Amino acid sequence: MQSNRLGWILLAPTLVILFFFGVVPFFYVLWLSFHQWNPFAVDPNIIYNGADNFRALVFDQGFLSSLGVTIAFVFFAVLSEVILGYFLAQAFMKEFPGKAIFRTVHTLPLIMAPIIVGSIWKLMTTPSIGIIPTVLDDWFGYDLNIGTSALAAFTVTVIMDIWHWTPLVTLTLIAALASLPADPFEQAQIDGANKRQIFWHITLPMIAPALLATVFIRLMDALRTVDEVLMLTGGGPGSATRYLGVHIFKEVFPKTNYGYGSAVSIIVLYLTIVACWLLYAALIAPRNKKA
Amino acid sequence: MAGVKIKDVVKRYGSVQVMHGIDIDIEDGEFVVLVGPSGCGKSTLLRMLAGLEAISGGTISIGERVVNDVPPKERDIAMVFQSYALYPHKTVAQNMGFPLKMAKRPKAEIDEKVGRAAEILDLTKYLDRYPKALSGGQRQRVAMGRAIVRDPQVFLFDEPLSNLDAKLRVSMRVEIKELHQRLKTTIVYVTHDQIEAMTMADKIVVMRDGRVEQIGAPLDLYDNPQNVFVAGFIGSPSMNFVKGRIGTHDGKKAFVSHKGLVLPVPETAADEGREVVYGIRPEHIRVGSPESGVPMNVVVVEPTGSETQIFARSGEDMIDAIVKERISAKPGERIGFEIDPVDVRLFDDKTQQRLR
């Protein structure tokens, strides 16, 4: 009893903070999503409108196109990060000169604030002054302009995300690979497996838990990307890079469309949960059931 | 099935040489045990046989084929690791069938071979389980099953029983020996436990510091150790050693230790005055009265039920004897150690080699 009370006392500060900064805002947003509230509209009051916001979403071209580009963005970014991260992790498992320096430099993007990452990439990609368009033009005669080309803007945001977050995948996978016992791999060699078979039959299943955890984290993060993209492209050109986070931001802040923005937020949360659950159901649950 | 020839094999790590010209001939179907203390190179040698470790010189052949540069998967060997090295994400059946699956054998054949191996090893009920749901002994058997299904030329065992408790170790020892009698496949088995070596091997290779000290049948090594190291390593409890020189006592040739203990030696023993190491196994000493043998003072008596071990001292020399009888000697009591000169082994003090 005594220790129980002490436990609650020790937990209390966290619980209080969590309550005010997590639970309250969540329910507030949930509550708002069932209301119409635009302080600068004809009627600035908060008016209950049932599921109107959600109903409107289904027919909202802006939202649907945003959802489409977001899914494409998340797919390409996360997939590339996982593949690239795996190969980098494998490379870091080997010894080579300058490894320590290279590994440190490689993790630098991780410690940068997204807004800074956005600024750096904006500087690097601004036509005529940025290093990337200059080099592409000089070497390949390619005219990169993320202000006019939707594909270029989309691609650059994906590359920026890869640049920013691959180190996270690499670090997680280095930890996972380093913790693997050596014996099963030697055993697999003796059992007649070649490199490709060892990867599919031994390495991949053995790092799967760490790999999936990383994918979850990256999936959730990528689905709510805002600041970097807002800084780099502002969601343009047109709505080519208007990912859900950017879409919500633009609905809520410049347009002060709070009720509608809340509804989109709730849907994004729902999508994130569904995506993670699908991954879990497809990849982890069958393993647990067998064991 | 095939024999294995290890010829003048050398291993270097950079400038450090750790294996110094190993020569071992293993015949087809033989059960050979590599034994020696930690760091003697026995596991490295086994890994070189498996192809997991490159050799720096010499040749290794399996059957007629030199396999120096052949990768592990093409050597047609099976290996059982000390850690068992089971694939944690595969069931027992998948673990055992893995080598066959890699060899692209038809599923029916895999199922049949796995089923048969499981029967031999009493694993049939566990085929659908994962390794984490098995006991140590069962995991050990799965690892063996995975080796058996391949029907390889040679089995390699790397301290397979070291992670098991004492009781299980004894029963697995019997099982492995039985398996060898049934399958008749060549086995190379590494252990640091000389009892395992003695009980299982057709031939024992005693190693130390990257060199082969002696090769021979278990009882041959026990009876005729070539040097002090082998004499001390084989046999448990290990042989008593006393340093001294050959002299005379009561007009007869005898051994006199540096601290004055006089022990009997055969008449044919080395020349008088020679510095020697005197070796006598505890089980070759009988305990009698101080008059009938070498007089000693009892220090410790350790009864184990089936036998009694007695540590006794004379001056500063300590010798232990092990006898079948239950002896009620008390510490401090004077007794006599009766030694038959035939059982005595003498070694040169400088070279540590056996004197005959």
Dist CA A32 CA A262 (whole Å): 6
Which residues make Cβ contacts (< 8 Å) with residue A129, sequence separation at least 6?
Answer: A123
Q: How far is A197 from chain B (nearest CA, A)?
A: 8
What DSSP state is assigned to residue A92? H
Same domain flag for B203 and B249: no
Strand runs (DSSP E) across chain A, as ranges?
35-36, 47-48
Which residues make Cβ contacts (< 8 Å) with residue A37, sequence separation at least 6?
Answer: A45, A46, A47, A258, A259
Dist CA B16 CA B222 (whole Å): 33
Asked if residue B100 lies in contact with residue B93, where contact means CB atoms within 8 angstroms, the answer is no
Size of chain A in residues: 291
Which of chain B's residues have a Cβ under 8 Å away from the Cβ of A205? 87, 89-90
Cβ of A205 within 8 Å of Cβ of B130? The answer is: no
Asked if residue A40 lies in contact with residue A213, where contact means CB atoms within 8 angstroms, the answer is no
Taking CA atoms, what residue in A is nearest to B72? A190
Dist CA B259 CA B265 (whole Å): 17
Nearest to B72 among A190, A205, A290 (CB): A190
Asked if residue B60 lies in contact with residue B99, where contact means CB atoms within 8 angstroms, the answer is no
Dist CA B21 CA B9 (whole Å): 5
Domain end (from B211, B233, B255): B233
Cβ of A190 within 8 Å of Cβ of B83? The answer is: no
Nearest to B73 among A184, A192, A291 (CB): A192
CATH number for domain A63-290, candidates 1.10.10.10, 3.40.630.10, 1.10.3720.10, 3.40.50.720: 1.10.3720.10
Q: What's the first-to-final CA gap in chain B, in angstroms?
A: 39
Asked if residue B276 lies in contact with residue B245, where contact means CB atoms within 8 angstroms, the answer is yes
CATH number for the domain harbouring residue B164:
3.40.50.300
Dist CA A262 CA A265 (whole Å): 5
Dist CA A12 CA A16 (whole Å): 6
The pair of structure tokens assigned to A185 is: 């791999």
Same domain flag for B245 and B165: no
Same domain flag for B69 and B213: yes
Same domain flag for B229 and B246: no
Residue of B62, B73, B113 to mutate when probing chain A, most A C-beta within 10 A? B73
Residue of B98, B132, B140 to mutate when probing chain A, most A C-beta within 10 A? B98
Same domain flag for B202 and B295: no
User: How far is C-alpha A280 from the geometric centre of its chain's CA atoms?
Assistant: 17
Same domain flag for B85 and B120: yes
CATH number for the domain harbouring residue B351:
2.40.50.140
Tally of CB atoms within 10 A around A80: 17
Same domain flag for B191 and B283: no
A2-21 residue pLDDT tens: 678 888 999 999 999 999 99
Tell me which residue of A163, A286, A277, A287 sits closest to A216, measured CA to CA. A277
Which of chain A's residues have a Cβ under 8 Å away from the Cβ of B88? 184, 206
Q: How far is B199 from chain A (nearest CA, A)?
A: 27
The pair of structure tokens assigned to B189 is: 């088995």
Tell me which residue of A179, A178, A173, A203 sits closest to A106, measured CA to CA. A173
Half-sphere exposure (Cβ direction) of B305: Cα atoms closer than 13 Å: 0
Same domain flag for B201 and B310: no
| Interface list for A 162-191 with B (CB within 8 A) | 181, 183-184, 186-191
Helix (H) or strand (E) segment spanning residue B19: strand B16-26
Q: How far is B78 from chain A (nearest CA, A)?
A: 7
Dist CA B2 CA B187 (whole Å): 10
Cβ of A192 within 8 Å of Cβ of B102? The answer is: yes
Which residues make Cβ contacts (< 8 Å) with residue A107, sequence separation at least 6?
Answer: A167, A170, A171
Same domain flag for B201 and B94: yes
Dist CA B45 CA A108 (whole Å): 44
Dist CA A118 CA B132 (whole Å): 47
Q: Is B73 helix (H, G, I), strand (E, B) or coil?
A: helix
Tell me which residue of B260, B270, B250, B266 sits closest to B341, measured CA to CA. B266
Distances (CA, A) of B347 to B194, B235, B275, B276: 21, 17, 9, 5
Tally of CB atoms within 10 A around A194: 12
Q: What is the pLDDT along chain B (356 residues), one digit of tens a residue?
A: 688 999 999 999 988 999 998 999 999 999 999 999 988 889 999 999 999 988 998 999 998 889 888 888 888 899 998 888 899 889 999 999 998 988 888 999 999 989 988 888 888 899 999 998 898 888 988 998 898 888 888 999 998 888 888 888 888 888 889 889 988 899 999 998 888 899 999 999 999 999 999 999 999 999 999 999 999 999 888 999 999 988 888 888 889 888 888 888 888 777 788 899 999 999 999 998 888 888 999 999 999 888 999 999 988 889 999 999 888 888 889 999 999 989 999 999 888 999 87
ipTM for the predicted complex: 0.77
Tell me which residue of B271, B273, B249 sits closest to B262, measured CA to CA. B249
Tell me which residue of B314, B344, B342, B327 sits closest to B239, measured CA to CA. B344
Q: Is the pTM of this model over 0.90?
A: no
Cβ of A193 within 8 Å of Cβ of B102? The answer is: yes
By residue range, what is the domain housing residue B261? 240-355
Nearest to A190 among B79, B83, B130 (CB): B79
A192 touches chain B (CB under 8 A): yes
Q: Is A221 helix (H, G, I), strand (E, B) or coil?
A: helix
What DSSP state is assigned to residue B238? P
Same domain flag for B184 and B320: no
Which of chain B's residues have a Cβ under 8 Å away from the Cβ of A208? 89
Read off the amino acid at residue B166: A
Dist CA B185 CA B51 (whole Å): 19
Cβ of A191 within 8 Å of Cβ of B73? The answer is: yes
Nearest to B99 among A184, A186, A192 (CB): A192
Taking CA atoms, what residue in B is nearest to A186? B52
Q: What is the pLDDT along chain A (291 residues), one digit of tens a residue?
A: 567 888 899 999 999 999 999 899 999 988 888 888 887 777 777 778 878 788 888 888 888 888 899 999 999 999 999 999 999 999 998 888 888 898 889 889 988 888 999 999 989 988 878 888 888 888 887 877 877 888 888 999 999 999 999 999 999 999 999 988 888 998 998 888 888 899 988 898 888 888 888 988 898 888 888 888 888 888 778 788 888 888 888 888 877 788 888 888 888 888 888 888 888 887 776 666 554
Give B338's strand partners. Answer: B286
Tell me which residue of B212, B231, B153 sits closest to B33, measured CA to CA. B212
User: How far is C-alpha A241 from the geometric centre of its chain's CA atoms?
Assistant: 14
Taking CA atoms, what residue in B is nearest to A206? B89
Size of chain B in residues: 356
Asked if residue B48 lies in contact with residue B72, where contact means CB atoms within 8 angstroms, the answer is no
Total domain count, chain B? 2
A202 touches chain B (CB under 8 A): yes
Cα angle A278-A279-A282, degrees, rounded to a multiple of 5: 80
